[in-house]
Chains A and B, each alone.
Chain A
Amino acid sequence: MEVGLNHFLIISAILFSLGIYGIITRKNAVMVLMGIELILNSANINFVAFARYGNFGLSGQVIALFVIILAAAEAAIALAIVLNIYKTFANVNVDEIDKLKE
């Protein structure tokens, strides 16, 4: 079967679903972050696919660049928060941490 736009969109849909699954089921906060990275990547595949097949020029690729930059900022902040939580509570399981302070 000839590879077209649908194939890329379906890969992105599968990655998105796997990312949601990871976020819902894992306890460890770092694993939840990995799920978020999967979701951001699936969005990026969609942007680049529509830059190739739509009539928008290269705007989709520029937006994908911005998403990558935002993902970097998000990972830095989120991991700083996770390290702080680990210092305070000695674990990073998102189902056990239900207080804002010690």
Chain B
Amino acid sequence: MTYYDIIFYLFALITIVSAVIVVTTKNIVYSAYSLLLTLFGISGIYVLLGADFLAVVQIMIYVGGILILLLFGVMLTNKITSVDIRTGTVHLLPAAIGVGLLLGVLWAIMVWTNWKTEPNEIPITTTRTLGNLLITDYVLIFELLAVLLLVALIGAASIARREEEENIE
């Protein structure tokens, strides 16, 4: 076992254990905080795969943005004072069986398919290459995503504030 392997198994353990907590714990706030750990673990896995820029983006956008948004969602949509922050579950047994089967099939496909397994050369810092790709090959998608983000944020603001508009009318 090299250091690489040990660190990989460490991050894999963090990711999977906290992901299991995310989907099984009754308390929705614990769930959100476990999601934080999961995202950190995935960020570590990105570093092991040589994607340094992506790891930092993961922490900044997921942990700094999306998770805070989810926590706002949790806090704004639950009766915290009257202890209603626990969340119910439905269809536990059929879901467990179905997901177990799905996992088995995926596992078999991943292991038995004959992938190319030797790693190829990627630059030590990927930021420059990613930037070049973003403004050459992928420039159209890049621009479209910029417009999409703007539309999404304006739409989110207007959906969440609809009630006040009705009051004005």
Contacts and interface: CB of A to CB of B under 8 A. Distances in A.
Contacts of B155: 77, 80
Contact of A37 (B9, B35, B130): B35
B73 A17 contact: no
Contact of A62 (B23, B39, B103, B138): B138
Contacts of B106: 13, 16-17
Nearest to A14: B16
Contact of B145 (A10, A70, A86): A70
B127 to A, nearest CB: 10
A83 B76 contact: yes
- Range for the number of chain B residues in contact with chain A: 35 or more
A44 B54 CA distance: 10
B81 interface: no
A58 B15 contact: no
Interface in B61-91: 61-62, 65-66, 69-70, 72-74, 76-77, 87-91
Contacts of A73: 148-149, 152-153
Contact of A3 (B8, B53, B149, B162): B8
Interface in A30-59: 30-31, 33-35, 37-38, 41, 44-45, 48-49, 51-55, 57-59
Contacts of A33: 70, 73
A31 B31 contact: yes
Nearest to B96: A21
Contacts of A29: 77
B51 A48 contact: yes
Interface in B9-24: 9, 12, 15-16, 19-20, 22-23
Contacts of A41: 38-39, 42, 62
Contacts of B118: 53
B102 A58 contact: no
Given A25-B90, A77-B152, 11 more contacts: A1-B5, A3-B9, A9-B110, A11-B15, A11-B16, A11-B45, A13-B107, A17-B103, A20-B102, A58-B133, A76-B152
Interface of A: 1-11, 13-22, 24-31, 33-35, 37-38, 41, 44-45, 48-49, 51-55, 57-59, 61-62, 64-66, 68-77, 79-84, 86-87, 92-93, 95
23 contacts: A5-B117, A18-B20, A19-B19, A24-B91, A24-B98, A25-B90, A31-B28, A31-B87, A33-B70, A35-B23, A48-B51, A48-B54, A52-B120, A53-B119, A55-B120, A58-B129, A58-B130, A59-B133, A61-B130, A71-B61, A75-B69, A80-B157, A83-B160
